Amino acid sequence: MGRPGAAAAGGKTIEEIYQKKTPLEHVLLRPDTYVGSIEKHTQTLWVYEGGQLVNRAVTYVPGLYKIFDEILVNAADNKQRDPSMDAVKVTISVEQNTISVYNNGDGVPVEVHNEQGVYVPEMIFGHLLTSSNYDDNEKKTTGGRNGYGAKLANIFSTEFVIETADGKRGKKYKQVFSNNMSAKSEPAISSCKSNENWTKVTFKPDLAKFHMTYLEEDVVALMSKRVLDIAGCLGRTVKVELNGQKLPVKTFSDYVGLYLASAQKGKEETLPRIYERANDRWEVCVSLSDGQFQQVSFVNSIATIRGGTHVQHVSEQIVSHIQEIVNKKNKNANVKGFQIRNHLWVFVNSLIDNPAFDSQTKETLTTRQTSFGSKCELSPEFLKKVSKCGVVDNVLSWADFKQSKELKKNDGAKRQRLTGIAKLDDANDAGGKNSEACTLILTEGDSAKALAMSGISVVGRNHYGVFPLRGKLLNVREATHKQIMDNAEITSIKQILGLQQGKGYENTKSLRYGHLMIMTDQDHDGSHIKGLIINFIHTFWPSLLKVPGFLVEFITPIVKATHKNGKVLSFYTMPEYESWKESLRGETKGWSIKYYKGLGTSTAKEGKEYFRDLVKHKKDFAWDNDEDGDSIELAFSKKKTEARKIWLRGYQPGTFLDQTQRVITYSDFINKELILFSLADLARSVPSMVDGLKPGQRKILFAAFKRNFTSQAKVAQFSGYVSEHSAYHHGEQSLASTIIGMAQNFVGSNNINILAPIGQFGTRSQGGKDHASARYIYTSLTPLTRTIFPKPDDILLNFLREDGQSIEPFWYAPILPMVLVNGSEGIGTGWSTFVPNYNPRDIVTNLKHLLRDEQLEPMDPWYKGFKGTIVKSATKESGVSYTVTGIVEQVNETTIRVLELPIRKWTQDYKEFLEALLCGTEKIKEPSIKDYREHNTDTRVHFEISLSEEKMAEALAEGLTKKFKLSTTISTSNMNLFDKDGHIRKYDTPEQILEDFYHIRLELYVKRKEVQVENLQYELLKLDNKVRFILGVVKGEIVVNNRKRAELLVELKTKGFTPFPKKAKASDLPVVGGDGSDVEADDEEKLNKGVRAGDYEYLLSMPIGTLTLEKVQQLCNERDKLEGDVEELKKCTPKDLWEKDLDNFLEQLTV
């Protein structure tokens, strides 16, 4: 360290380098710290001149403006000290360089301050760091706080006069300060009346210190505007004068009106003025701003020109309300809060306790909202008025403009060479002079592209390009802006076609291609892809759909019938094929059938054949009228949900698109083809009330029963079997996932899994997503499955046919409604569904009540293995809500234990939530737990959570369940299911489902009994015939050796033996690739007297070793047993049969 007093670098002494200044010297030396800059600044500000507010460029010195403001705010503050104050008078004299500010009300106490030994007026106007606002324990709504204020005006004035009348003490005070507060006169004390109370400050700014020679016009206009501010803030009870003229402002609303009058000059539209006095401390007014947030705000009469926490407090409420409305009206807008703020002009007049600012210039309020001393809670009526003042429309228009502008970034252009788009095979003439003759073929996947490429080898590459789609195109009508921007496929199509955002097209001359051809599979999903492409064009370029021949589709056969003589027939719709098949009247010999659901089924040779006959395979889409646009919107807009339900309900079975027509209108496509996809999508998503299964699950169960799936097999292998035997047309991965889902049995999944989980099928840790690959896990039917779906019912079911083979039934008929046992959820076209799980024992109990004509017991949701509580929380006409709560308990003052999570809140997700509480996130700013420990298993939840005592107290006050998110709600208000006839129906209670199911199932038990009795009697008759036959052979009455078979058959008929012909299966056409199990060739000739060879096969096929008396006795015993069974069955009622099945089910369920 250097020696004190030693010379420093540059020759200066330490004393010259390090100096101590008095507070007064420091203010003059460093004015920026106290009053802001003392240099001239030019910026656009509001000023008051000519009786109106004007927004213009102003050149002024911030420091000078600040000292004037301090005196003015002092005058306004007096209104808070003395509510009787009713006058403020301001005089600005340019000629005399004098400013005076007068206010009535309580004057400054004219009394000597005992501690300081000077009069109070001198102390507070002439001594730095003195104030009446230092006691922070006392809540004050005045502007002053730090003890500089008016003294700064004194310091920067050549003369400063303080005058005050203190009626309480009967004294009047006057004192003159000069030379920047460095000199002062002795106070002049005189008497005054008791009702005389006022204060007046007159000062002459030291213009030299502000580099000025006189009070310039801009400065005066700015000061005049501040006087106007005071008039607006103080309102009706205070009359404000400027230079002897009363200002035309009585209220804050009047004050705002001056801004709006100025802003709307030259404009046709009037700016709205939405005003509310929230309470005694808050006045708010809102209008519209054009693209940039504007605010005019005051805190205790101080103009906070940069806003602050008070403006944030008000604007957040407005923004939040508008944001909710905007994002409801246009869910794709994704408008952020700051973007809404840019369309608002907010005016705030507030009184804040002990306000804190970012600096002595007091431009920004920094006080926390919790310390305001009051809240500004805007009323719903006010917010409603704001939302209707035009701001919502402005924001929506801005959002549309912004999105359209951004979408233009990936516009296409008409150019011949296009690079960088993978898998595009461009037409040679695309983008050139012959571009109108070019056709872009959009195909469903790469295999379809291969077929198209084979086909265009016939017509050449000059006018045909091909681009494969990766699955389904995005529904742009409901997609977010980000989704559209990020979608590479949409960008590619725009580039390939040369489409430009927002452009209207009367023809295709400006495009790279004159035609767009859609080539998809002939199934429901193919129809959906066509619809999505139409929707894409209609959303952004509706005029293109009106251009004749622009949009076309390429159709391929759905079925081909080939005769052995070489004749080939192609069918483009199933109704067309069925009609032809019926016309054969069973004469199917020589014909074979091949189904073409996917374009990949067609060979390259067939592809070339299609393109040789383009006229037959190409169909033009045509715009007929506005109904076409309405139909497209109906199918794809979320706003049309209710209309879409009516559309789907109005479907007439047998409706199909006539593919013989050359031209297809868009409304015909939507109403006759796309509707089939929508219905199929709904069927895939919503289960049947009868069996609780969706089609994919039903196919799996059908295949399991057909295979007699009691021996375990890999899920991957079984999924292949399901695809082969049930005409499953979707992905193998999707099928494997469904199989796994049917076998899962962790908490929150199935109450009764109908497939066995042999291996890792997933746990409650990740909601089943942690299952092993389908290649490694095994499954089979559980023993309970056939108890629930009895085999005797199979013969009663309505089995469907597809692709020429018998597949799953329309629905299975379990002995209890499985949709209640395992619940269900799904989202389809028009409808979604959610059915909670219920206790199978409760269901059986209620079924028995119905069987005995007793009252049903209300059922509440129940999940196997769940240890928490499910409590009814609300009952409405549409259904009941339940609160599902986990288990949490306090161990000690710093530890809690979580032992159960709400249904479908998975362990891993909860662990991530705890980590957020531990480390904090954007939403959770402050960590609220110290640590947590895990003792979880694959079936059990056990977290131990450590908190500080302070955080524990907060958690207990809030409620542990709420704090740690251990409750959710489920509801029965959305139980949409297909009824027995395949119509969608809404059920309000589980009891409604149970009653509907009861009548269907009971009717089936009646039929089952009839069929079982009939079958038993059939078997009895067969046994009688067998006994007679064996005895006839034993006694020599019937000779079977060395005889012609035909003679023997005639003899059996003559002797009265009952013929039991083999049951002939429905005659059908052989299907290419089928297993032949459903087709039976019956070329047997009728023998003499109408006897067929199979009529007595049941007798003639008996082994020769059984034609004995011992066999006769055995058959007689069997007959006696069967007769007993028949009698016992006849005695049972259908209800008895059902109750017996239910008892058997409960017995096995317990095991």
| Residues tagged active-site | 776
Q: How crowded is residue 495: how many other Cβ atoms within 10 Å of its Cβ?
A: 20
In whole angstroms, give the CA distance from residue 1108 to residue 801: 45
Evaluate whether 484 touches 386 at the Cβ level (below 8 Å): no
- 795 CA to centre of own chain: 45
Q: How far apart are CA 371 and CA 963, in angstroms?
A: 25
Cα radius of gyration (the chain): 45
Decide: 150 and 77 in contact? Cβ < 8 Å: no
Q: Pairing relation of β-strands 799-802 and 118-119? A: unpaired
Provide the 10 A C-beta neighbour count for residue 138.
Answer: 10
- The dihedral region occupied by 442, where left means phi > 0, alpha psi between -120 and 50, and beta the remainder, is beta
- Tokens, residue 435: 């571009």
Q: Helix 675-685 to helix 641-649 angle, to the nearest 10 degrees?
A: 100
Closest CA to 907 of 771, 763, 773, 772: 763
What tokens appear for 714 in the block?
């890999």
Structure-token pair, residue 39:
């240099």
How far apart CA 281 and CA 139 sit, in angstroms, is 13
- Nearest CA among 355, 326, 345, 349 for reference residue 276: 349
Q: Which residue has the tokens 């939530």?
A: 913
Long-range Cβ contact pairs of 1067-1070 (< 8 A, separation 24 or more): 1067/586, 1067/588, 1068/588, 1068/804, 1069/561, 1069/581, 1069/588, 1069/591, 1069/592, 1069/593, 1069/804, 1070/588, 1070/591, 1070/592, 1070/593, 1070/804
DSSP string of 637-658, one letter each residue: -GGGHHHHHHHHHTPPTT----
Residue 1044 · residue 1129 · CB < 8 Å:
no
The pair of three-digit structure tokens given for residue 935, joined into one six-digit string = 């003792």
Nearest one of 582, 576, 534 to 559, comparing CA atoms:
576
Beta-bridged to residue 126, according to DSSP, are none
User: Strand, helix or coil at 106?
Assistant: coil
Buried-state track 755-785, b at ≥16 Cβ within 10 A, e below 16 = bbbebebbbbbebbebbeebeebbbbbbebb
Instruction: Give the per-residue SS3 of 674-701.
Output: HHHHHHHHHHHHCCECCCCCCHHHHHHH
Residue among 909, 634, 671, 657 nearest 767 (CA): 909
Name beta bridge partners: 767: none
Which pair of structure tokens corresponds to residue 820?
């209640």
Sequence-ordered list of residues with C-beta below 8 angstroms from that of 211, at least 6 positions apart, any chain: 38, 39, 40, 61
Strands (E) located in 147-246: 157-166, 171-178, 183-184, 188-191, 198-205, 239-242, 245-246
Q: Which two tokens stand for residue 127?
A: 């001594």
Q: What is each CA distance from 1127 to 655, 1002, 1122, 1143, in whole angstroms?
A: 49, 21, 9, 22
What torsion do the CA atoms of 536, 538, 540, 546 make, to the nearest 10 degrees?
A: 130
Q: What is the 3-state secondary structure (H, E, C) of 5-26?
A: CCECHHHCEHHHHCCCCCHHHH
C-alpha 933/C-alpha 972 separation (Å) is: 36
DSSP state of 758: B
**Four-residue CA torsion sign, 133, 138, 143, 146:** positive
Token pair belonging to 914: 């705890």
